Structure 1
């Protein structure tokens, strides 16, 4: 009987998913080169979603039965995967058989996809490559690893700022300010190296992970010094005032200097001698970005680049929008494809790289805490806590994945066209109301995340796969009782709506992790 094999089939399903995930990265890297791999990857994602839904539903049913049985008798209940006879277990047996059929079908599909992967020559990628360890202890030093492009004028400006009051005051503090990835640390290295070569003063380099004030004071006592404080985030003025006072005490010679690099204008205003000693780092030109990309892709020894590749490369360089870090990353990616014109064209035509100069492309601001909660709802953090999510967020921030704006950050437009039958995440508001018309009951079945703002929420939509439902500012007065049928729902936000009370069925949302209702129930 099929149902008796459910445990074994579930183990096979989990093993299959583990193996499939191990080839996903290789497939994603190759899809830009090979159309069959791209189609295979799309098919895999669809089946993987179904597999996750089945596993999630089984876990939900097991939890639901435990809760209901404990409410009825206060006693422990058997695991959902146990199978017993008797009328009491008729419904359980029926569900058991239904889920067994689903698991069997998905296993068959996954086995077929696994065989196709072997035919495409896809390789199993190690766990470390799939989930590399994120090291938040960003340690920098004064060593300059790569050639620097387009910063000659910036170097001269910093040198002039350091020299203009060289013999007039005990301590001059110059700040270098700019968004992540612009090259603040690189610029500080250039000035540091130049000063080391042309002076006899004591030099020191300190970053946020290796800041020892006692060691710094001991090393510069009684000597003229240049100190670089790299990647400063602290905005508590008293701490800086204390450090500055101690540094002035240990060396009363004139001409001492500190160079501070930071993303924060607030940090700069606290630490710098005056706004006159602030240098805001500008973006590079498209040609300068192309120079960086070219060096990364081909190295300094490349005599010539095919004209067709150079034209494509210059178009890609425009997408960097003047950020040298983006140019380095893209150049390294392009170098991995060697002289594959089709791969370069794929990068050039990718919508992911499009910049959002137009404000209409930015839909809303999202707080860090909420973003982490959404990651949790999507299952990106597994069983990890919000602290783990904060760790990943900070790592992405440090690597310039986000541009921080006060306490929030922007998300790109996540709307789609009329055909959303395969869409997993959707944002709908007044500006794309035509999408909401196309958002039929039939099309909505695969959605995992839905954001609705300032329009009427039709509670009749069938959203059985939904993990995230954000109705903040939606035109809605009550939630339908059918909300309790969303077995997978982990995040529900009804803030700033006209809802006065939640339906009793929300108590059936056993997977719910986050419930927000600020400004509601009034």
Structure 2
């Protein structure tokens, strides 16, 4: 996030940097600086500003690592993510000792900074295992950890001292208005009249100084050009609900006012991705297209990709997407969803989407699931429940095919990113409705010939040409309609 987009956090940045750089003489070998605050307060944004600060970069050099932790505190996975953050290469070492040894070799005794973003773990044994592993890496004295969390209990579990704990406060009234005004009255939005300002300031009081709520509401009001539309939002039942649930009601308001049912489907579909996932914009639009969500209005000359681009921009302006990455031409290539927004997407998907990333026996599998993402422990055997076999339209997986994949026939989208098998099972030929197939990152050097018979295919993503040896026979028969 660009610094100019951040409002009211200069003092917080200075405070955390002082904590980080002035704690070298602490008796603790690996001190933890904790940033604490309710959801949507900007903890991750603050940590990013510190992480990329010139003083911090100079102090730690390239030995800076960022990990999005979220719900699953699995030490092996976190250590592998550390190595991936440090080397930019994927790491899949399965034992803690092996990962610690490799990290120690990479760091070579230099001090490091590790950011653990969005920590929920309150289990002391898990934290001690993680801490002992980090101490085993052998970085020099002066290595530090920054952790962001909503929970004071997490801070206690990590044994962070009060002097290294920063509680993120709400924005002031003036700061809140500045942030809202930037979104609501930006170029192309409504005219900033006294009447609209009065309504906007009244609604700002209900946002309680929470940045995500303010930006989301500002994005919504940007699309409302007339006084009566602002009045309808102001008089919404949502404001009669005490915001005891955090800011979810305000985010729900932004969703409820999305201009199209198809756009609402597009947003809900995003819950198939794990929390904190880097979503590729072009892939996302192709996935929406495969589900039939991108329908140009009658008489329009727009292509489906154009509609998808418009949908993406609306969700971004409403702060339902964030943390965008740009290419060298300033085009958006990636984005993320705030974890509260991800929770909203799961809620409005009405159990149609499931991201299954843990041991199968621990997951509540709902019979209405239509879109399924599998990232299970290696050698985990998974069978799609019978009540879902005829409903499943999306299937993402990495290691293992579901045991009964031959029974699934209504699939529209399949992704085998990072799939390690050398061949695809011939049962995929039954996926006659398949519109999207992603083999990128897989080790499949020669895609099977039956791909040429998937006549409904709109998008085929293949491995890089350094891995791909040849295309299937009669590949020319695949013509996009």
What interval of TM-score do these two structures reach, taking the shorter chain for normalisation? 0.3 to 0.5
Higher relative helix content: 1
TM-score, normalised with respect to structure 2: 0.42
Instruction: Calculate the TM-score normalised by the size of structure 1.
Output: 0.39
